[in-house]
Amino acid sequence: MKLSVSSLIFALLFSFLLETSASTDENFLQCLTLHSGNDSISKLIYTSSNSSYSAVLKFDIRNTGFSTPSTPKPQVIVTPSLISHIQATLNCSLKHGLQVRVRSGGHDYEGLSYVSPVPFGLLDLINLRNISVDIENSFAWVQSGATVGEVYYWIASKSRTLGFPAGLCRTMGIGGHFSGGGYGTMMRKYGLAADNVLDTHLIDVKGGGGGSFGVIVAWKIQLVPVPSNVTMFTVKRNLEQNATKILHRWQYVADKFDTDLFIRVVMTGINSCQEGNRTMQASFNSLYLGGKDKLLPLMQEKRTEMSWIQSMVYFAGFSSEQSPDILLTRGPSILYFKGKSDYVKNPIPEIGLEGIWQRLYEKEASTAMLILTPYGGRSEISESSIPFPHRAGNIYKIQHLVSWSEEENAAPEKYVNWIRRLYDYMTPYVSQSPREAYLNYRDLAIGKNNEGNTSSSQASIWGCWM
Ligand SMILES: Cc1cc2nc3c(=O)[nH]c(=O)nc-3n(C[C@H](O)[C@H](O)[C@H](O)COP(=O)(O)OP(=O)(O)OC[C@H]3O[C@@H](n4cnc5c(N)ncnc54)[C@H](O)[C@@H]3O)c2cc1C
Ligand SMILES: *[C@@H]1O[C@H](CO)[C@@H](O)[C@H](O)[C@H]1NC(C)=O
Ligand SMILES: *[C@@H]1O[C@H](CO)[C@@H](O)[C@H](O)[C@H]1NC(C)=O
Ligand SMILES: *[C@@H]1O[C@H](CO)[C@@H](O)[C@H](O)[C@H]1NC(C)=O
Ligand SMILES: *[C@@H]1O[C@H](CO)[C@@H](O)[C@H](O)[C@H]1NC(C)=O
Ligand SMILES: *[C@@H]1O[C@H](CO)[C@@H](O)[C@H](O)[C@H]1NC(C)=O
Ligand SMILES: *[C@@H]1O[C@H](CO)[C@@H](O)[C@H](O)[C@H]1NC(C)=O
Ligand SMILES: *[C@@H]1O[C@H](CO)[C@@H](O)[C@H](O)[C@H]1NC(C)=O
Ligand SMILES: *[C@@H]1O[C@H](CO)[C@@H](O)[C@H](O)[C@H]1NC(C)=O
């Protein structure tokens, strides 16, 4: 897929501000009915006067910080079930000066798929979620509104030896996830989800507007072989068990292992056995694409063999004994968070790691974590193959995360400031000129264009867009 995925997203995000007037509301709805040539579209349209408007809006909001009374709300939500509904929505939005936000799974860290500072309509793809798997030819067509969990589930329901290399969180939408890269436990062997896209159905600007480039409706994806059993193991070490030294060593090997072996690290504070004493833990979360007999004897910890789909249940945050049916569940949850990302090209010295622990001891960091995901493997994929430049030369990626409770959301600044301080602290240890970041861990603090004046030369200083 050579189409410019990030420029697409970019255009959607920073779309041109059109003349807008709220009074076009009525006309907009009439326009939709007219253009879809079929009254049935009214069953798919919600304005604030529909009682289920709020439930529909909230259903796919993953960062509750963008679901407060003061968050700007869409003037209208359209949940198309046919391609022509999307075309009609784009045409009418263009005509009536309404910006369009497109939502697939709603996991955007900054809520950009369902929040805008200017009057907007929400094109919610929740009803476009068909998945058809062709096992014989090892591909599938999946619509953007389907979730990653559903894709895994339907592949596994037909074959124990095929899978797909996308992310871990089951509720992520295909539309946003694939278009920003999409990585998971098989990235070292098979690359990103986006590396395995064969074709797309795109509705482009000729079919409508709102200043956007287009809406991806469906994706043809290459399925990849997985062994009938994979092996899982997790090793946890706290500071008293030399976590820092082991983590330091991990940086020299994690990207060099055989590509069948994936070992990521979660750095977080834990309450140790002694009451009231806190310590820090590095949890080495591992997946081996093979049976346990083949796994290096140095991995002495408890190892469990299971099907690939069960390993995805585990990495999605459930017990590996849980039925894969859990992957089909979807719906609102409450989580207030801020995330940032970094790429690491040289091992961080022990003293640098100790400084991270120190920051994780701060009280704002009680639920904070850093997730370190190893690179290596498919580093031969060129920086310009698709608009995802983070390839050779990276040892691992870091995701920095902090979260807080609903009560604390009245004043989230102290948490946001904590993660900013951590990010500043990391500066000398991570990629520079430019400091790289993962598009799918959207972080508006990195910078954005001014609404109404998008400029690629201004944007190009961020490096990941060219
Ligand atoms: C809890 C959690 C866990 C995560 N885990 C991982 C992980 O393991 N690996 C990983 O790589 N990432 C991960 N992410 C990040 C995730 O990949 C991104 O948030 C991704 O954008 C989510 O896609 P979505 O469809 O759910 O998002 P949305 O919020 O719906 O969309 C994100 C962006 O894409 C645009 N967009 C959405 N659909 C379309 C479409 N059909 N056509 C055009 N534009 C569209 C939206 O307008 C928005 O700008 C995680 C995120 C969360 C919240
Ligand atoms: C309108 O579209 C629906 C499908 O969304 C279809 O079932 C129905 O027959 C259509 N009606 C007309 C009059 O075309
Ligand atoms: C929302 O309300 C309008 C006006 O009453 C109605 O035409 C439409 O069908 C409602 N939408 C849904 C999804 O029920
Ligand atoms: C949308 O507008 C384009 C260009 O004017 C037109 O060709 C197309 O038929 C329209 N589609 C719908 C569904 O209104
Ligand atoms: C989705 O799949 C169903 C059943 O296979 C089919 O009837 C329907 O037309 C498909 N919808 C789209 C939009 O492809
Ligand atoms: C930690 O490292 C020291 C020195 O290398 C060693 O003596 C000790 O046994 C290690 N502790 C654990 C729990 O591995
Ligand atoms: C807490 O842990 C530290 C480091 O291991 C130790 O020095 C201290 O005695 C512990 N405190 C309590 C109250 O157990
Ligand atoms: C998978 O692993 C389980 C548990 O070790 C084992 O019982 C089973 O025979 C293995 N299945 C295959 C197909 O290898
Ligand atoms: C938009 O950016 C250009 C180039 O930076 C500048 O000359 C122009 O004044 C800007 N326009 C607005 C409305 O800000």
What 3-state DSSP class applies to 342? Answer: strand
Question: CATH 3.30.465.10 spans which residues of the chain?
Answer: 131-225
The residues pairing with 339 across neighbouring beta strands, listed in sequence order, are 401
One digit per residue, the tens of pLDDT, for the chain of length 466 reads 333 333 333 333 333 333 334 445 678 999 999 988 777 899 999 999 999 999 999 999 999 999 999 999 999 999 999 999 999 998 898 889 898 999 999 999 999 999 999 999 999 999 999 999 999 999 999 999 999 999 999 999 999 999 999 999 999 999 999 999 999 999 999 999 999 999 999 987 565 333 356 899 999 999 999 999 999 999 999 999 999 999 999 999 999 999 999 999 999 999 877 667 899 999 999 999 998 887 766 566 788 999 999 999 999 999 999 999 999 999 988 999 999 999 999 999 999 999 999 999 999 999 999 999 999 999 899 999 998 999 999 999 999 999 999 999 999 999 999 999 999 999 999 999 899 999 999 999 987 766 666 666 655 544 433 2
What 3-state DSSP class applies to 387? Answer: coil
Question: CATH 3.40.462.20 spans which residues of the chain?
Answer: 230-306+335-446+458-462
- The reported pLDDT for the residue numbered 162 is 98
Ligand 2 center–CA 241 separation, angstroms: 65
The arrangement of secondary structure in 230-306+335-446+458-462, i.e. its CATH architecture, is 3-Layer(aba) Sandwich (3.40)
274 lines ligand 7 (CB under 6 A): yes
Give the nearest ligand 1 atom to 337 CA. Answer: 53
**Is 50 within 8 Å of 3 (Cβ atoms)?**
no
Residue 159: C-alpha distances to residues 139, 288, 323 (Å) = 12, 19, 16
183 is catalytic: no
**Is 180 within 8 Å of 157 (Cβ atoms)?**
no
Give the nearest ligand 9 atom to 452 CA. Answer: 13
**Is 126 within 8 Å of 143 (Cβ atoms)?**
no
**Is 382 within 8 Å of 191 (Cβ atoms)?**
no
Ligand 2 center–CA 211 separation, angstroms: 29
Q: Which two tokens stand for residue 176?
A: 């946003």
Orientation angle between helical segments 243-253 and 350-360, nearest 10 degrees: 120
> Which ligand has the minimum distance to the alpha carbon of residue 239?
7
The arrangement of secondary structure in 131-225, i.e. its CATH architecture, is 2-Layer Sandwich (3.30)
Closest CA to 155 of 178, 179, 175, 139: 139
What 3-state DSSP class applies to 141? Answer: strand
What 3-state DSSP class applies to 311? Answer: helix
Atom 7 of ligand 7, nearest CA residue: 277
48-76 burial: b if 16+ Cβ within 10 Å, else e: eeeeebeebbeebbbbbbbbeeeeebbbb
Question: Could you confirm whether domain 12-124 is CATH 3.40.50.1100?
Answer: no
Measured from the Cβ of residue 85, the count of other Cβ atoms closer than 10 Å reads 23
Q: Which helix (H) or strand (E) holds 139?
A: strand 139-143
- The reported pLDDT for the residue numbered 124 is 98
End-to-end, the C-alpha distance of the chain in Å comes to 17
> Which ligand has the minimum distance to the alpha carbon of residue 84?
4
Ligand 1 center–CA 243 separation, angstroms: 32
229 lines ligand 8 (CB under 6 A): yes
Ligand 2 center–CA 92 separation, angstroms: 20
The burial class, CB within 10 Å (0-12 / 13-18 / 19+), for 90 is buried
The distance from CA 108 to its chain's CA centroid, rounded to whole angstroms, is 7
Ligand 7 center–CA 209 separation, angstroms: 61
Q: Which helix (H) or strand (E) holds 269?
A: strand 261-271
Give the nearest ligand 9 atom to 453 CA. Answer: 1
With the most atoms of ligand 7 within 8 angstroms of its CB, the residue from 238, 241, 273, 274 to mutate is 274
**Is 329 within 8 Å of 147 (Cβ atoms)?**
no
- The reported pLDDT for the residue numbered 37 is 77
With the most atoms of ligand 3 within 8 angstroms of its CB, the residue from 33, 39, 42 to mutate is 42
Q: Is the peptide bond before 119 cis (omega within 30 degrees of 0)?
A: no
**Is 383 within 8 Å of 393 (Cβ atoms)?**
no
42 lines ligand 2 (CB under 6 A): no
Atom 53 of ligand 1, nearest CA residue: 107
Cα–Cα distance between 165 and 228 in angstroms, integer?
16
- The reported pLDDT for the residue numbered 23 is 47
DSSP 47-63: -TTSTTHHHHHHHT---
Spatial CB neighbours of 432, under 8 Å, sequence gap ≥ 6: none
